Structure 1
Amino acid sequence: MREVFTRSCCALGIVLAVLIPMTGAWRSFKVILTDIDFEANDKIVNLTVDLQNDAGDSKLSVDIKVFEDIEDVQLTVDVGLETDKGNYSTLINRTLNFCKLLKLRNSDPLLRGIYEDLLKHGNLFKECPIRRGTFSLSHYKVDEELLPSFLPEAKFRFGLLITRSKNERILRAVVYGRIDKSKGFDNLKRFSMG
């Protein structure tokens, strides 16, 4: 009896070990980027942005030409959810030294994870000072696995401000989008259960 119980527990443990990672790997939402507003300091950088939305997939491509080496880069990130039409409630607002983010692996886990995901889709800055040259991001699609599974269906704003010493603006960008759950697991459950 004890041997049968032990085998059953082992079999259940193996099934759970295999299935639990798979259930956590699927998100019940899509991130759809709807618009990008940006301005770059044309004495320092030239920026070309292309946003494509095909069949519910948003893909972002960016070409960056840096005209001079840039030291002491500050990064300000602002994330907000739309509460009323056109009004956003700020969820995250932080400023950090971009060079420190690149050098120290544990400096900001969330932003570091997002930046490492961006690096997989192009040749972006990997060291400071940022060297003169051409950089790009090609057909980037937001990896929903990096985001918490409990995100609400909502419109959002992602603001980015990049400056250098004496608050000289290099780049300001605002990405607008929405969290879409219409094709997610909850919707599938409703149709299958009647």
Structure 2
Amino acid sequence: MKKFAIALLCTLPCATFAADWTPVFKPWEQCKSSSIVTKIDKAVIGTRADYQKYTDAYELASQNWHGDYDDPRYNDHLASYGVDDNLLVSKNALQGKFPTIPTQYRKDMGKAYITDGSHSSSIYIHVPLNNARLYGIPIKEYVAGFGLETESPRSYVNFGNISDAQLAKLKKIKLKSIYEEAFDVNISASFNRNEETGEVWFYDCTY
């Protein structure tokens, strides 16, 4: 009987054992940073040298562009000068490798990719999450926001398209707010449904 149980266990798909990411993001409830999230942010962002290479190429390309920035040819122009948004993402993260992240979370993390970049003063690096749960609900990805200039975009967890009942359950979680003197506002983490995609995002505590 014991041998049968072991054999059965070995044949169960990995999806049966969903990783609990709640401890990773729980500090956001108190408007605090998470040590694991900080490690992930450091793991996904590119090197300072690659960032300098990116900005130098972008500045040169911009100086030599005399058309409208909405012109479809602008992207080709940037590429001809070596402007590649992937320079802003670490090589390991682009390959889905995260050696500095604890194993129980690392195994859920897929290949990172970037949005915005050359068209914005902030970037978002997406890390797809497979077989991960937060507060008992499956999560789709973690998105790290970085400001290239003075902006400080909010990072967030994407739950994907979940039900109103699941969102109501999340909104019952107490989220502490703190006073941000520099902007004269109270800030806190938040659960919001994106109006365009219908997805539910859990934002970190930044302003």
* TM-score above 0.5, yes or no: no
TM-score range, shorter chain: under 0.3
Larger radius of gyration: 1
With normalisation by structure 1, the TM-score equals: 0.25
**Higher normalized helix content (fraction of residues):** 2
Structure with higher RCO (Cα < 8 A, 6+ apart) = 1
With normalisation by structure 2, the TM-score equals: 0.24
**Higher normalized strand content (fraction of residues):** 1
